[in-house]
Structure 1
Amino acid sequence: MAKHIDLFWSCGMKVLITGGAGFLGLTLARKLCEKSYLSLGQDPQQVIDCIVLNDTVIPQTRPEGIDERVSFVAGDIAERETVGKLVDRDDIVIFHLASIVSAGGEADFDLAIRVNLTGTLNILEAARARAGAPRVVFASSTAVFGGQAMPDMVSDLTKQTSQTTYGMTKTIGELLINDYSRKGFIDGRSARLPHIIVRPGRPNAAASSFCSGVFREPLKGEDFAVPVPPQTLLPLLGYRNCVQSFIHLAELPADVLGDDRAVFLRNQGHTVHQMIETLKGVAKRNGLVLGKISMSHDPVIAKIIQGWPSQIDSARAERMGFPADTDLDRVVQDFIDDFMPS
């Protein structure tokens, strides 16, 4: 059964965020609270009066920046009845972020299938049951690509041959979004995420968790062991522009996307060595003493990372007006400004 706290009145447009108690879900909710509307179709400013954040575990107190329009609902998206109660109105926009991530999916195949496939199908079927083809934004990943034939540079036109359970479920999710949209059941779109940095809090089960950890832990004065070689090239995007990209994708007219609803978000490629050197420079400017950074090869993590794209052509997203980071220094400084006490 779903557990509700601080429910708000139902009127105007509703926004549902699955995985809403996670970092990106909460950051997106804060931005939507600040923005207060979405521009959809003929309505340039459709007011948001209700935001529901769904997750398996919800905060016991209201997080900072989350106002009274927001309610939290604990529940499992793999349960159809729970999802039906979440998607309970026609005037709804859904940001589907909930997922069992990469290393977690490799460790527990059945859980990944249950959450990432059954849960996504439940979301799509609940949206299909509403009138008006609700808009659905699905968080996908670079993990949809992989394999021996993967080119050095991938794009939205590259063949998907994922080598992880997580990536396979994201590939299927993208195809479902395309077909449910083609049939007119929903107005869906998929955001292919590069590695999103810098995430606060504790490391998660993602193989790419170190992409944030290499900044976060040393900035806290803690030692950090990097599990991949220093020359590893990684496509990165700061969390602020990731959230802005979710909103931009939600607001894009369907005819701009056409029949291919999956879009690689804009990104910049940096090696682990460049990431560490950037961190040192930003820390020095802020008068911060870093924890020690060392190299400690993890063959499991390294194999997963090596199987993902290291370079992404996001020219399509650029043409569509998606935001981009100015430089890596700015992304690290944003994290310090947003999450580190002065």
Structure 2
Amino acid sequence: MKKVLITGSLGQIGSELTERLRKDLGVKNVISTDIRTIEGSPVVENGQFEELDVTNYDQFLDIAKRYEVDTVIHLAALLSATAEKRPAFAWNLNMTGLMNALEVAREIGPETKFFAPSSIAAYGPDAEPDNTPQDTVMHPTTMYGVTKVSGELLENYYHTKYGVDTRSVRFPGLISYKVEPGGGTTDYAVDIYYEALKNKSYTSFIEKGTYMDMMYMDDAIEGIVKLMNADASRLEHRNSFNITAMSFEPEQIAASIRRRIPDFKLSYDVDPARQGIANSWPNSIDDSDARKEWDFSPSFDLDKMTDEMLERLSAKFKAEGIETKVSFGKVNS
């Protein structure tokens, strides 16, 4: 990667990946795009930024050619719970946007590097629920999952047919303090930290005992960078690699929070729609191929992530003048 175009750069992944790649490659070598502009956003203010509707192929190609990029990182997509509410819109955005991104990559050069994430949503209820293997049946029952399986196949096609250097991972739920969640089923695992600091309580829309894979955003960003810099000759799977860092259910994340906030309370008001989505996903996935083929290795477990989230969010709230009900003391072990 020398000059990178990122779509969806104001989203949860895009905002942090933009920051990382600007440090690695230089500000002028990262062109961040999104369908909207947010005034004051570091993504917009601190480097190259263009407004882009990824369903507009001509606009997409013009930006890629104008900046002479050699890598396309396509993150613009509608997430799981939101996609279920607007399935036709989700298909158009997720698939037309991806097709345009791949066509742009093919047009700007035969060996262009390309990344678009998949998700654990690509699996369905008939996949093995525990330690789900890299290669198995994939029959998703959500529109988001359908677009992710279709995307994996489409990326493989562009690699074998046109030589585009496509690479991808199946992300689990991603947890970050920098950007608030945007419509995913795993978002409870982000919301819970916000509410723990503000109210010392949280009402989960996911049922007790529901396990899902999760990952701290720092590990997700490092995973993207590491995969994109990996030796292509080692990659057997490409689209897409399972990656994960931990699998937990709501009671376990609550217990981790109580190490720092002993009187934190967890209750439940289950959302049937999002619970149904969660039930169709694996409890845990096997990421041994990513570890073998490009040395994937996460750094954060649940307790380390909890400490980081609470401390970072507390500092963020203080800087924004938001009052919290928590004073941090010694960790309760």
Band of TM-score, shorter chain: 0.7 to 0.9
Change (3 A) 1:200 1:295: farther
How many angstroms does 1:19 deviate by?
0.9
Partners of 1:90 and 1:132 within 8 A in 2: no
Q: Secondary structure at the match of 1:311?
A: coil
1:135 aligns with 2:113: yes
1:309 aligns with 2:282: yes
Q: Secondary structure at the match of 2:13?
A: helix
Q: Secondary structure at the match of 1:87?
A: helix
Choose from 127, 130, 134 the match for 1:152.
130
How many angstroms does 1:162 deviate by?
0.8
Structure 1 equivalent of residue 209 of structure 2:
231
How many angstroms does 1:304 deviate by?
0.6
Change (3 A) 1:33 1:337: farther
Structure 1 equivalent of residue 296 of structure 2:
322
The answer to which of 243-252 and 154-163 deviates more is: 154-163
Residue by residue over 1:2-36, the C-alpha shift from the partner in whole angstroms, topping out at 9 and shown as x without a partner, is xxxxxxxxxx9321111101121111111112223
Q: Amino acid of the residue matched to residue 38 of structure 2? A: P
Q: Secondary structure at the match of 2:117?
A: strand
Instruction: State the alpha-carbon separation in 2 of the partners of residues 54 and 339 from structure 1.
Output: 26
How many angstroms does 1:219 deviate by?
2.1
Instruction: State the alpha-carbon separation in 2 of the partners of residues 221 and 240 from structure 1.
Output: 26
Q: Secondary structure at the match of 2:29?
A: strand
Instruction: State the alpha-carbon separation in 1 of the partners of residues 276 and 298 from structure 2.
Output: 28
Change (3 A) 1:93 1:303: same
Partners of 1:198 and 1:211 within 8 A in 2: no
The answer to which of 240-249 and 274-283 deviates more is: 274-283
Instruction: State the alpha-carbon separation in 2 of the partners of residues 152 and 327 from structure 1.
Output: 18
Choose from 22, 38, 46 the match for 1:59.
38
Structure 2 equivalent of residue 18 of structure 1:
7
Q: Pairwise CA RMSD of aligned residues?
A: 2.2
Partners of 1:266 and 1:317 within 8 A in 2: no
Change (3 A) 1:199 1:142: farther
Partners of 1:146 and 1:161 within 8 A in 2: yes
Q: Amino acid of the residue matched to residue 265 of structure 1? A: I
Q: Amino acid of the residue matched to residue 124 of structure 1? A: L
Structure 1 equivalent of residue 325 of structure 2:
none
Residue by residue over 1:280-337, the C-alpha shift from the partner in whole angstroms, topping out at 9 and shown as x without a partner, is 11346xxxx75x4321111111111000111111111222211313421111222234
Change (3 A) 1:48 1:57: closer
Instruction: State the alpha-carbon separation in 2 of the partners of residues 259 and 183 from structure 1.
Output: 16
Q: Amino acid of the residue matched to residue 171 of structure 1? A: V
How many angstroms does 1:210 deviate by?
1.0
Instruction: State the alpha-carbon separation in 2 of the partners of residues 255 and 142 from structure 1.
Output: 25
How many angstroms does 1:91 deviate by?
4.2
Structure 2 equivalent of residue 76 of structure 1:
53
Structure 2 gap segments, 5+ residues each: 319-333
The answer to which of 312-321 and 48-57 deviates more is: 48-57
Instruction: State the alpha-carbon separation in 2 of the partners of residues 137 and 34 from structure 1.
Output: 19
Q: Secondary structure at the match of 1:323?
A: coil
Structure 2 equivalent of residue 336 of structure 1:
310
1:216 aligns with 2:189: no
Structure 1 equivalent of residue 331 of structure 2:
none
Residue by residue over 1:158-208, the C-alpha shift from the partner in whole angstroms, topping out at 9 and shown as x without a partner, is 221111100110111111111111123410011110111134454422122
% identical aligned pairs: 25
Structure 1 equivalent of residue 73 of structure 2:
95
Structure 2 equivalent of residue 166 of structure 1:
144
Aligned pairs, number = 314
Structure 2 equivalent of residue 179 of structure 1:
157
Structure 2 equivalent of residue 115 of structure 1:
93
The answer to which structure has the higher helix fraction is 2
Instruction: State the alpha-carbon separation in 1 of the partners of residues 89 and 115 from structure 2.
Output: 22
Instruction: State the alpha-carbon separation in 2 of the partners of residues 293 and 219 from structure 1.
Output: 13
Partners of 1:137 and 1:249 within 8 A in 2: no
Q: Secondary structure at the match of 2:258?
A: helix
Structure 1 gap segments, 5+ residues each: 1-11, 37-46
Instruction: State the alpha-carbon separation in 1 of the partners of residues 122 and 41 from structure 2.
Output: 35
Structure 1 equivalent of residue 323 of structure 2:
none
Partners of 2:123 and 2:281 within 8 A in 1: yes
Q: Secondary structure at the match of 2:108?
A: coil
Residue by residue over 1:211-238, the C-alpha shift from the partner in whole angstroms, topping out at 9 and shown as x without a partner, is 2112222223364310122211121111
Instruction: State the alpha-carbon separation in 1 of the partners of residues 154 and 164 from structure 2.
Output: 10
Structure 2 equivalent of residue 280 of structure 1:
258
Residue by residue over 1:87-123, the C-alpha shift from the partner in whole angstroms, topping out at 9 and shown as x without a partner, is 2155421211111111111111111111100000000
Instruction: State the alpha-carbon separation in 2 of the partners of residues 28 and 309 from structure 1.
Output: 26
TM-score norm. by structure 2 comes to 0.87
